Structure 1
Amino acid sequence: MSIQRLCHINLIGLQQQKLSVLDDLQALGMLHLEPAGLDASVDGSNETFADTATSAFGSITPEDAKQAVSYLAACQRIRRQELFDQSFDPERLVNEVLVNRQKARDLADQRIFLQRRIADLRPWGNFELPDLDALEGQRLWFYQVPLYRLKEMTAVSLVWQQVHKDHRYAYVVVISEVEPASNALPVARTHTGSISLSTLEDQLVQTHRDEEQVMIERESLSRWLFCLQYSLAKVDDQYQLRLAEQGVWQSESLFVVSAWVAEDDCPALQAFARRHGLALQQRSPKKHETPPTLLKNPACVAAGEDLIGFFKLPSYRGWDPSRLVFFSFACFFAVIMSDAGYAALIALGLAFYWRKLGLSQSGKRIRALVLTLATAGLVWGVLVGGYFGADPPTAWLTSLKVVDINDFSSMMTLSIVIGVVHLVIANLLQMWMRRFHLHMLASLAWVVVLIVSLSAWLTHITPWHQGAIALALVLIVLCSSSQSGWGKQRWISGLLGLSNLSKLFGDVLSYLRLFALGLASASLAVTFNQLASQVAAAMPELGVLFYVLILLIGHLLNFTLTVVSGVIHGLRLNLIEFFNWSLADEGYAFRPFKKQEVVPWKT
């Protein structure tokens, strides 16, 4: 659908032009370079990269610089960005940021330790251990005894005193010159330490002050974030340039850059070659070659590329499922949510972050996806009449309720029909990709099995249904193999193909999760509403407060579970069940050789 057609090109130039041409190609950003006889998968320890990094950051590694950038970018408040000047020193700045980060970590660890020590020591009270001379050689030993074992202390022959008791423990102090034997008391000794409670609390207050100071320093350093990002981007660009230099074929007088380029970009590349006095060889991919996959979709549905990219990228000669996955994911998410109120919350959250998401291309993709999810959720929520688990608030919205989510039979039927339609589309697309080959008839046979089986389930089995399925199974046996000839291997492949019957049945039933999760979400919303109402009726005075708390906490929990379920299972039905029947081969991504773009921070 939207897989870009590529051309293989060779750019040939004089050896003295190599570096300048590669630098301009990187600025052009159109080529997916193919290394000529050299390994392009060089890691960050590459010698040329180390030289480049040293020139920009001194003794600081690029990995340290990336960590510094991430640390500053996560700052809660980022200062207005500074411009490059004589005072900007990347090495010194990275060192300061990393020292600040380590201080923040150490102080956080110290704060957590002090909070735990104070919580453990508070039941014993604020005390200081006396000197040994003050007790004439006697010592204090502390024991935290569970209440159900406190009666065992009556049998202890030592001098002891209970100093505190709560709902679980009695806090006992034993006076003895040496530590009592391990079996002398019901529990092991508690270590309280030698520092008093008031001293620990003072240390905690000072730790909070130190943390505030570190955060102030971090915020101050954040004004150099753009400069640091820009410097780091330049280092990465130099690394990619050195890597490309290693990957070109070269002789004493000539060099050759081999790459893939989109057909639409060929005119611009031809102009580039003429401008630099380069020879350009251009051809279409050969049958045995496996070019990278370059997807191109409109901005409004480009997020579909991100949805499929982390799981399975189609091969160059396959088809692009990103648009179909984009819309089917939105539909599945809406069915799982089944509440217009929750969809409205998503829309409100999107409106709040709309401008911020529009600052980057990835943010615009996410924005379009979330808008589609919210729209689909609102439409389906209105059709099922779900508004935070309550009935439609007006008669007009009630008239729009056409689906009863509590009608188990109808909802199960709808889920099965959705699954069959989704898998029919998958097999039809697979059949189209196998056109002009006998193998395509196997995909057609699976389409027949799906449609005829659904018809028989919705009505009743007839001889016509049985005959159609039998014919389809025969086609599966005969046409499941992609090999030519009618030898033994074809029959074995055909019989193995029949084993997909159980997988097909299981995949169709997987779509029942749409109904099950949608019903669970709606039922939880109703349950929280009923629980809140019952509490309000049972407690006339504080009932309103508990009513509000139960609604807020309950619906927040249900909303979170619904969104997580919608994302996970909505993607799962597309990336597993659907892809199993529609995508045969996996490809690799088209990675353009280009300079990094650094977007200035707007604060």
Structure 2
Amino acid sequence: MTIARLKKLTVVGPASSEADAMEALQDLGCMHLVPLAPPPEQPEDAKGREAKDAYTALRFLTVIPDQRRQVLRDSAFDIHAFVPEVMELRARLRETRDRRDFLAHRISEVRPWGDLIFPPKEELAGNHLWFYKLPLKERDALDSLEIPWQIVHRDHLHYYVVLISRDEPDTDLLPVPRTHTGALPVSELEAQLEEAEIEIEELQAERQGLTRFVTLMRQQMSQAETRAELEYGRQQVLRDESLFAVQGWVPGDREEEILSTADRLGLAALVEEPQRDETPPTLLEQPEDRESGVDLVMFYQVPNYRDWDPSIIVSVSFALFFAMILADAAYGLIIAAIIAAMWSKLGENGHLRSWRRLLCVVAAATVIYGVMIGSYMGYAPPEGSFLASLKVLSVDDFSTMMVLSVTIGVLHLVLANTVAALNRWGTNAAWASLGWCAVLFGGLVYWLAGGNDWSTLGIALLAGGFLGILVFSSDRKVDKPIDLFWRVIGGLQGLAGSMGAFGDVLSYMRLFALGLASASLALTFNDLASQVREAVPGMGLLLALLIFLIGHTLNFALAIMSGVVHGLRLNYIEFFKWGLTEEGTAFRPFARKEVQE
């Protein structure tokens, strides 16, 4: 996978051909437009509220699992009238659900006082009833009241107290705020709740019926988006009374196709290589089965056009880091079982198949690493067994695991600097990156040598690396003595990154720490289940099984979360910091919108 080489295309023609030219470019779908006119609004913003409502309405209908038979042809269907209908239904359903929830809560609050039917105001001689839910331990607060009160109900936690007073009692009269019961009795509230439930069922049935138009809705939305995209493109065209001009970036391998289209339409086309002061957008070229790696990279940062594509390295290193954090072969098999259960769904299109492939690599790496450390849901394989012979590491061996984590961190950062140096070859920055490679590797050798003969090699690499960083961190040419001074200052600034490099290497210790935490939690739940089974006769086995299942489910979820977050973090923060120079702009093709599936 590489970053596609782009060329700048300028198309000029008579104003009468503008519409045909823009539609042809949209059909080709390979041009990232550069605004020659003042920058327009984004197309999704230009479509305004109507587009947002359309997407909301579509999501509202598509989340229903059992949709009606789809209507594929209906000349009377109008999305502009259909969307407001769906949005009104959505608002009514939300309002009814809110009312249902309010009534259910009010009933639970009022029920302890019984089916209250308030007497007419004149029968209370101007007094009112005030309701309080008083904890049992606060019973003594009632004895000091100077107004009439009555306990009408009691449960294992509260007294339900009614006070009689003309005015609302002071807020500090009792140690709890008063309860608002409303004026309706429980029987009336329950009747309203039943009506709300029936209304929700009717609205859900109406919603179910509208799902028959989802396919037509998607088709018309795609057509509307295509028109909006075309309008967005036309806003970037430079025009006068007789001519128009449109400019953008196109992949080099589409040049002949574009020139042929321009010639067919009688347009003038100029294709140029990007200048040094220009920064084209970034288009990552990848086969369909590797799109998941591009998704991982582009999620955090778009590489600069003149940088390199890190998607393969990020995919492989993420799988390794994820496996070390989960640190259990059985958990890897569970992931594999989940992938197998979703195999057909993950194979519906090329993009999903690329993610299926990446998940298979992640699952395989997790199983292999789990076998290497001999962990199967926290249990070790039996002594003398074949699985025991495959165990070559132990998460309890702190010194070995620390060395492994730091070594992986150093190699990861050395790889980042090496690729960066190759990409910048011929510049001072390339030699500075190689200097950092020497510093990182030399520090690792010196640390591992522990004072033996290899320490000399480590010191030599450190000295050479620091010298290279000092000399090559600045691109300033030395034409005057003052230039030498600023060149040295630039080198010292480069050396100031040493502490950052040290901290970045130590960041990889999280691989060991999180893997140890996952293994320790698994072992803890196993021990707890074993103790409960032995301590509780009869039901002990069932309780132990529940503890085992709940404990490992929790540990598995936490491990997955840690593996994803920290597995990506080490790539995004540490690796990108040393391997990529600047952030770029994603290539956004001016193209027709496909019908959503």
Q: TM-score range by the shorter chain?
A: over 0.9
2:261 and 2:14 map into 1 onto residues whose CA distance is: 15
Structure 1 unpaired stretches of 5+: 51-59
1:27 match: 27
1:535 and 1:117 map into 2 onto residues whose CA distance is: 42
How many residue pairs match? The answer is 589
Q: CA deviation at 1:491?
A: 1.4
| Of 555-564 and 155-164, the range deviating more from structure 2 | 155-164
2:593 match: 596
Name the aligned partner's letter for residue 352 of structure 1.
Answer: A
1:393 and 1:230 map into 2 onto residues whose CA distance is: 60
1:150–1:242: structure 2 CA closer, same or farther, 3 Å change rule?
A: same
1:396 match: 386
1:181 and 1:5 map into 2 onto residues whose CA distance is: 77
Q: CA deviation at 1:243?
A: 2.2
Cα shift readout 1:518-573 (whole Å, capped 9, x = no counterpart)? 11111111211222222222222332332232222222211111111111111100
1:474 aligns with 2:467: yes
Identity of aligned residues (%): 42
1:438 aligns with 2:428: yes
1:55 match: none
1:155 aligns with 2:150: no
Q: CA deviation at 1:509?
A: 0.4
1:74 match: 63
Aligned residue runs from structure 1 range 310-321, under 5 A: 310-321=299-310
Q: Is the 8 A contact 2:347 2:356 kept in 1?
A: yes
2:538 and 2:188 map into 1 onto residues whose CA distance is: 43
1:420 match: 410
1:534 match: 531
TM-score by length of 1: 0.92
1:587 aligns with 2:584: yes
1:573 match: 570
Q: Is the 8 A contact 2:43 2:232 kept in 1?
A: no
Name the aligned partner's letter for residue 597 of structure 1.
Answer: E
Q: CA deviation at 1:170?
A: 2.0
Name the aligned partner's letter for residue 319 of structure 1.
Answer: W
Q: Is the 8 A contact 2:218 2:596 kept in 1?
A: no
1:39 aligns with 2:52: no
Aligned residue runs from structure 1 range 289-368, under 5 A: 289-368=278-357
2:492 and 2:173 map into 1 onto residues whose CA distance is: 75
Q: Is the 8 A contact 2:444 2:458 kept in 1?
A: no
| Of 128-137 and 1-10, the range deviating more from structure 2 | 128-137
Q: CA deviation at 1:315?
A: 1.0
1:125 and 1:539 map into 2 onto residues whose CA distance is: 43
1:11 aligns with 2:1: no
Aligned residue runs from structure 1 range 34-433, under 5 A: 34-42=34-42, 46=46, 61-132=50-121, 139-176=128-165, 179-392=168-381, 395-433=385-423
Q: CA deviation at 1:487?
A: 2.7
Q: 2:269 aligns to what SS in structure 1?
A: strand
Cα shift readout 1:23-45 (whole Å, capped 9, x = no counterpart)? 12212211112222432445656
| Of 391-400 and 251-260, the range deviating more from structure 2 | 391-400
Name which of 448, 454, 460 aligns with 2:444.
Answer: 454
Q: 2:344 aligns to what SS in structure 1?
A: helix
Q: Is the 8 A contact 1:36 1:249 kept in 2?
A: yes
Q: Is the 8 A contact 1:388 1:555 kept in 2?
A: yes
Q: 2:342 aligns to what SS in structure 1?
A: helix
Q: Is the 8 A contact 1:429 1:582 kept in 2?
A: yes
Q: CA deviation at 1:66?
A: 2.0
1:440 and 1:290 map into 2 onto residues whose CA distance is: 20
Q: Is the 8 A contact 1:128 1:195 kept in 2?
A: yes
Name the aligned partner's letter for residue 9 of structure 1.
Answer: L
CA RMSD of aligned residues (A): 2.3
| Of 7-16 and 514-523, the range deviating more from structure 2 | 7-16
| Of 578-587 and 272-281, the range deviating more from structure 2 | 272-281
Q: 2:290 aligns to what SS in structure 1?
A: coil
1:141 and 1:523 map into 2 onto residues whose CA distance is: 55
1:385 and 1:199 map into 2 onto residues whose CA distance is: 64
| Of 115-124 and 180-189, the range deviating more from structure 2 | 180-189
1:256 and 1:133 map into 2 onto residues whose CA distance is: 84
Q: CA deviation at 1:97?
A: 0.6
Q: CA deviation at 1:500?
A: 0.6
Q: CA deviation at 1:182?
A: 4.5
Q: 1:439 aligns to what SS in structure 2?
A: helix
Q: 1:443 aligns to what SS in structure 2?
A: helix
Q: 1:302 aligns to what SS in structure 2?
A: helix
Q: CA deviation at 1:362?
A: 3.8
Q: 1:8 aligns to what SS in structure 2?
A: strand
1:181–1:424: structure 2 CA closer, same or farther, 3 Å change rule?
A: closer
Q: Is the 8 A contact 1:296 1:302 kept in 2?
A: no
1:463 and 1:401 map into 2 onto residues whose CA distance is: 34
Name the aligned partner's letter for residue 85 of structure 2.
Answer: E
Q: CA deviation at 1:162?
A: 2.4
Q: Is the 8 A contact 1:301 1:326 kept in 2?
A: no
1:331–1:468: structure 2 CA closer, same or farther, 3 Å change rule?
A: closer
1:282 and 1:565 map into 2 onto residues whose CA distance is: 48
Cα shift readout 1:564-601 (whole Å, capped 9, x = no counterpart)? 1111111100000011111112111111111011144x
| Of 212-221 and 540-549, the range deviating more from structure 2 | 540-549
Cα shift readout 1:89-108 (whole Å, capped 9, x = no counterpart)? 21221121101110121122
| Of 400-409 and 149-158, the range deviating more from structure 2 | 149-158
